[in-house]
Amino acid sequence: MSRCTFICLYLFPSTKRAKGVNGLLEVKNVSGGYRGKKTVNNISFTVGKGEFVGLIGPNGSGKTTLLKIISNLIPKQTGQISLCSQELETYSAKELAKKIAVLPQNNELGFSYTVKQVVALGRTPYKKTLFDNWSTDDETIVLDAMKQTNIYTFANKDYLELSGGERQRVLLARALAQQPQLLLLDEPANHLDIKHQIHLFSTIKKFTENEKSVLAVFHDINMASLYCDRIIVINQGQFVKEMKADEELDVDCLSSVFEIPFTKHKHPQIPREIVTFHPLI
Ligand SMILES: Nc1ncnc2c1ncn2[C@@H]1O[C@H](COP(=O)(O)OP(=O)(O)OP(=O)(O)O)[C@@H](O)[C@H]1O
């Protein structure tokens, strides 16, 4: 434990211990990738209950691959992953879908559904069959997810006729309607203008109340610093460092990983740090 972490734990015991003590997700020495290659190699970290953890790293460093392994889309080659203290591979697909919802990088859907129908797909893990009854609870959950993501006004529009940013919000609503314990988000701010980015991250932050957790890939270091509890840095498939976002950002680490000299500054309104860079390199 660093001296700074020790002092914070000592000074703010209740707030610092509230999150992350009980690991919801535990990733231990995990490797995996494509065609036998270790695209991610020997990575370990935890995501605690109620934590919002950001995953950052350069293009091709393995962020999406790691999310795919955690969501059981591709098998791990080594290591252990447990969710709610249970090995990931012991979950049935349906049980896992009640625990983990994924917002993928790509928002293409190969069928023509209305926005509300797409969000309603989030209720599938709770249905015995495809034609199982639609309850008033399902209706309330779907409407609530649409309100939270500000898509209520175009609920009856065809998904395929939406802009990239609108689609992103619909898929987040579908993930919220799934009522998971853990949200895995791959570049959730893709396609979103700044107002909708702030709205989306505030919605995600709110999701972490009631001990629900988020692991999200970020390209924008400042957005990660402003919204996350903790930031995990990976490079070339390997764990590099984790930092608490409300303590000091390790700008030397970030500069070395992204090969850009960053300078850090205190945010003028909230106790967080942000980085800037020279526009010419
Ligand atoms: N389906 C695939 N088959 C083979 N190799 C893949 C596949 N998907 C990704 N890769 C390779 O795995 C490596 C890691 O890719 P990944 O998408 O996990 O990186 P990333 O950190 O998410 O990148 P980005 O920031 O560009 O989205 C890259 O070298 C990529 O070419």
64: amino acid identity, one letter: T
Residue 36 Cβ contacting ligand 1 at under 6 Å: no
Tokens matching residue 218: 């970020």
In the chain, the number of structural domains is 1
pLDDT of residue 220: 95
Quick one: pLDDT band at residue 107, thresholds 50, 70, 90?
A: confident
Domain assignment present for residue 17? The answer is: no
In a domain, 228, yes or no: yes
pTM for this prediction: 0.90
Residue 98, pLDDT above cutoff 50: yes
Q: What is the pLDDT of residues 228-262, one digit of tens each?
A: 999 999 999 999 999 998 888 999 999 999 999 99
User: What's the CA-to-centroid distance between 254 and ligand 1, angstroms?
Assistant: 20
Percent pLDDT > 90 in the chain is 79
The finding on whether 59 has its CB within 6 A of some atom of ligand 1 is yes
Please report which confidence band the pLDDT of residue 19 belongs to, taking 50, 70 and 90 as the band edges: low
pLDDT tens column, 137-148: 999 999 999 999
What atom of ligand 1 comes closest to residue 61's alpha carbon?
Answer: 21
Atom of ligand 1 nearest to the CA of 33: 12
ipTM of the predicted assembly exceeds 0.95: yes
Q: How confident is the model at residue 22 (pLDDT cuts 50, 70, 90)?
A: low
Choose one of 31, 34, 35, 233 to mutate for the ligand 1 pocket test, by most ligand atoms within 8 angstroms of C-beta: 34
Average pLDDT of the chain?
Answer: 89
Residue 49 CB less than 6 A away from ligand 1: no
Ligand 1 pocket member 61 (CB < 6 A): yes
pLDDT value of residue 142: 96
The protein residue with its alpha carbon nearest to ligand 1, atom 31, reads 60
**Residue 83 is assigned to a structural domain of this protein:** no
d(CA 249, CA 258): 14
pLDDT in tens, 67-83: 999 999 999 999 999 99
Ligand 1 binding pocket includes 235 (Cβ within 6 Å): no
**Residue 11, in any domain of the structure:** no
Question: Is a pLDDT exceeding 90 seen at residue 280?
Answer: no
Domain with 252 in it: 51-71+94-277
Tell me if 78 is assigned to some domain.
Answer: no
The confidence score (pLDDT) of residue 132 equals 78
Q: Ligand 1 pocket test: pick from 31, 39, 186 the residue with the most ligand atoms within 8 Å of its Cβ.
A: 39
pLDDT of residue 152: 92
Give a yes or no: residue 88 inside a domain: no
- What is the C-alpha separation between 229 and 244, in angstroms, rounded? 6
Is the confidence at residue 15, as pLDDT, over 50?
no
Instruction: Give the per-residue pLDDT at 68.
Output: 96
Tens of pLDDT, residues 148-194: 999 999 999 999 999 988 999 999 999 999 999 999 999 999 888 99
CA distances from 71 to 4, 186, 204, 224 (A): 34, 12, 18, 21
Give mean pLDDT, residues 109-131: 89
Nearest protein Cα to ligand 1, atom 28 = 60
Query: Averaged over 77-91, what is the pLDDT?
Result: 94
Would you say residue 122 lies in a domain? Answer: yes
Residue 253 located in a structural domain: yes
Backbone phi, psi, residue 84, to 5°: 50, 45
* Domain CATH for 218: 3.40.50.300
Least confident range from 13-22, 126-135, 173-182, 211-220: namely 13-22
